[in-house]
Amino acid sequence: MPELPTVAIVDDDEAVREAVEELLMVSGLACHTFAGAASFLAARTSCRFDCLVTDIRMPGMSGIELIEYLHDQGVHLPVIVLSSVLDQQVRAHALSLGVHSWLTKPVSDERLLGAIAAVIGDGAGSEQ
């Protein structure tokens, strides 16, 4: 039996983090949650993720800084942004760095799950 696809969720808000985690669980996805970019980056040394769902406005390292870092490191990990930020420039910048989807909170379950399914399903969803 193939291993379940694993999604990393980075959001400083505990309630949002837990809600997304529950949604992915009921949809048959495995996931790990992180309160900030730093703890996610630390976990990457030991875990493999098929997809990253991240917030943008966070204390410490922001979502954009995380995306830039992964891009600069040449990490091939599909990224989905889930944030309240409406700034078009930030959005365009993120998309130019290879972000797959930019979803605005609150998001519908179908859109979020659809976006995740899209990146996992097309086979691009595994870290090399």
Partner 1 sequence: MTAVLLDPREHDETGIAELASESVVVFDPHGKIRYWNPAAERLFGWPALTVQGTGLTELSSSPADEKRAWSRLLQEGWWQGRVGRRARHGGIVFADVRRHLRYDAAGEHRDTVEFARPAATADIPQAGGHPISDRMMAASWVIDVSPASEIVARITARVGVANRHELEDLHCRLVEASRIVEVNERSARLVGGNRGRALMAGQSVAAFWPLASRSMLGALIVEALGNEHGGQCRRQLASDGILRDPLVSVWRAGDERPGHLFIAVNGAADDDRSYLFLRASEARYRKLVDYMPIALWQVDASHMGKIYAGLRADGIVDFERYLEEHPELVDHAAATVPVTDVNRRAIELVGGAGVQDLIRPVGYLFDASPDSLRRVMIGRFTGKKNYSELMKLRTLDGRVLDVRFSVTYPEPRLELDTTIFSLEDVSDRLRMETQLRQLQADFSHAARVSMLGELASSIAHEVNQPLAAIVTNAETSLRWLARDQPDIDKVEQLTARIVASARRADEIVQRVRGMAVNQAPDPVELALNEIVQESLLFVRHEVEMRSVRVTTSCARGLPSVIGDRIQLQQVIVNMLINAVQAVEGCDEPRREITIATATNDRGDLLCTVGDRGPGIATDHLDRLFEGFFTTKAAGMGIGLALCRSIVAAHGGDVSASNRPGGGAEFRVVLPRAGSFAAAGDIAGEAPGPFAAQAARSA
**Contact set with partner 1 (CB under 8 A):** 12-13, 15-16, 18-20, 22-23, 26-27, 57, 59-60, 82, 84-85, 105-109, 112
| Residue 18 or 122 having the CB closest to partner 1 | 18
| Residue 23 or 124 having the CB closest to partner 1 | 23
Task: Give the shortest CB-13-to-partner 1 separation in angstroms.
Answer: 4
**C-alpha to C-alpha distance for 74 and 85, rounded to whole angstroms:** 25
76 CA to centre of own chain: 13
Residues 6+ apart with CB under 8 A from 113: 23, 24, 27
Task: Give the shortest CB-112-to-partner 1 separation in angstroms.
Answer: 8
Task: Give the shortest CB-76-to-partner 1 separation in angstroms.
Answer: 27
Burial of 121 (0-12, 13-18, 19+ CB in 10 A): exposed
